[in-house]
Chains A and B, each alone.
Chain A
Amino acid sequence: MDPKPPWKQLRLRHVSKQFPGGPLILQDIDLAFDRGAFVCLLGPSGSGKSTVLDLVAGFERPTAGTISYDEREIAAPGPDRVVVFQDVANALFPWLSVLEHVEFGLDRRLPARERRARALAAIELVGLADHLAKFPSELSGGMKQRVQIARGLVMEPEMLLMDEPFGALDAITRRNLQLELKQLWARTGKTILFVTHDISEALLLGTDIVVLSMGPAARIKDRLTGPEIPPPDPASPGFIAASHRLEASIEGPSMAPALAGTS
Chain B
Amino acid sequence: MKGALRAGGAIAVVLLLWEVLARAIDMPLLAPPPETVAQSALALAKSGELLRDTLASLQRLVVALVVGVPLGAMIGCALGYWPVLDAMASPFVRMFNAIPAIALVPFSLLWFGVTEFSRFTLLLYTISLTVTISARQGVRSVPGLRLRAGATLGVVGVPAFLRIILPSCIPAIIVGIRTAIGLGVMVVVAAEMLGADSGLGYLIMQARSQFNVPEMAVGVISLGLLSLLLDRLFNGAIESFVPRWSVRRRIR
Chain A residues at the B interface, C-beta cutoff of 8 Å: 57, 59, 76-79, 81-83, 85, 87, 90-96, 104-105, 135, 137, 151-152, 155, 161
| Distance of A157 Cα from B188 Cα, bound (Å) | 57
| Distance of A62 Cα from B151 Cα, bound (Å) | 18
Residues of A within 8 A of B2 (CB): none
A83 touches B154 (CB 8 A): no
Chain B residues at the A interface, C-beta cutoff of 8 Å: 143, 145-146, 148-149, 151-156, 163-164, 167-168, 170, 244-245, 249-252
The DSSP consensus for interface residues of chain A is: loop
Residues of A within 8 A of B153 (CB): 79, 82, 104-105, 151-152, 155
Sample of 15 A–B contacts (CB below 8 Å): A59-B148, A59-B151, A82-B152, A83-B149, A87-B145, A91-B145, A91-B148, A93-B164, A94-B251, A94-B252, A104-B153, A105-B154, A135-B244, A151-B153, A152-B153
Min C-beta distance of A83 to chain B, whole Å: 4
Residues of B within 8 A of A155 (CB): 153-154
B148 touches A95 (CB 8 A): no
Residues of B within 8 A of A104 (CB): 153, 155, 163
Residues of B within 8 A of A137 (CB): 249-251
Contacts known (A90-B143, A105-B154, A135-B244); A83 close to B249, Cβ less than 8 A: no
Most chain A C-beta atoms within 10 Å of own C-beta, residue among B164, B170, B251 = B251
A91 touches B245 (CB 8 A): no
The DSSP consensus for interface residues of chain B is: helix
5 A-B pairs with the lowest CB-CB distances in the bound complex, closest first = A105-B153, A90-B143, A77-B151, A90-B145, A79-B154
Residues of A within 8 A of B168 (CB): 93
Task: Kindly report which residue of chain B lies nearest to residue A104, judged by CB atoms.
Answer: B153
Task: Kindly report which residue of chain A lies nearest to residue B244, judged by CB atoms.
Answer: A95
Residues of A within 8 A of B170 (CB): 95
A85 touches B145 (CB 8 A): yes
Q: 7 new A-B pairs (CB below 8 Å) besides A85-B149, A93-B146, A161-B152?
A: A77-B152, A91-B146, A91-B149, A95-B251, A104-B155, A104-B163, A152-B153
Task: Kindly report which residue of chain A lies nearest to residue B155, judged by CB atoms.
Answer: A105
| Distance of A224 Cα from B228 Cα, bound (Å) | 67
| Distance of A135 Cα from B249 Cα, bound (Å) | 9
| Distance of A59 Cα from B168 Cα, bound (Å) | 21
| Distance of A171 Cα from B132 Cα, bound (Å) | 46
| Distance of A225 Cα from B172 Cα, bound (Å) | 50
Residues of A within 8 A of B143 (CB): 90
Task: Kindly report which residue of chain B lies nearest to residue A91, judged by CB atoms.
Answer: B149
| Distance of A87 Cα from B151 Cα, bound (Å) | 16
Most chain A C-beta atoms within 10 Å of own C-beta, residue among B153, B155, B168, B251 = B153
